[in-house]
């Protein structure tokens, strides 16, 4: 159950603040413009040796209603960079985070 209304979520994803517009394309479908917050955080990975390394983990957080049918393998373009959706994380409150991989 969503905590916020659709109107309140729209305010959260306004491009005047932190959000950007992306082009989401489901496999075999047509593309649509959606708004969300893009984050490309680096995090430390340990491969089991003595040296750790940093890797990117791009994510796009948006209203679940904009990506209601999103599945792994769908495409999204953010800031002119193409990504494939690797994981769809619906939080049950009306917000979904897409874990991405650069194409």
What is the pTM (predicted TM-score) of this model? 0.89
- pLDDT tens readout for residues 55-84: 899 999 999 999 999 999 999 999 999 999
What is the CATH number assigned to the segment(s) 6-102? 2.40.10
2: pLDDT strictly greater than 60: no
Residue spans of the domains in the chain: they are: 6-102
For residue 12, what are the contacts with CB-CB under 8 A and spacing of at least 6?
4, 19
1: pLDDT strictly greater than 60: no
Burial of 20 (0-12, 13-18, 19+ CB in 10 A): middle
Mean pLDDT for the chain overall: 92
Radius of gyration of the chain (CA): 15
């Amino acid at each position: 159950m969503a905590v916020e209304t659709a109107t309140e979520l729209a305010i959260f994803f306004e491009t005047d603040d932190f959000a950007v517009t992306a082009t989401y394309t489901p496999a075999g479908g047509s593309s649509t413009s959606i708004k969300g917050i893009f984050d490309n955080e680096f995090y430390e990975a340990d491969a089991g040796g003595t040296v750790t390394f940093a890797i990117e983990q791009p994510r796009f957080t948006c209203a679940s209603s904009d990506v209601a049918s999103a599945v792994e393998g769908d495409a999204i373009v953010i800031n002119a960079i193409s990504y494939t959706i690797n994981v769809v994380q619906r939080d049950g409150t009306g917000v979904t985070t897409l874990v991405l991989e650069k194409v």
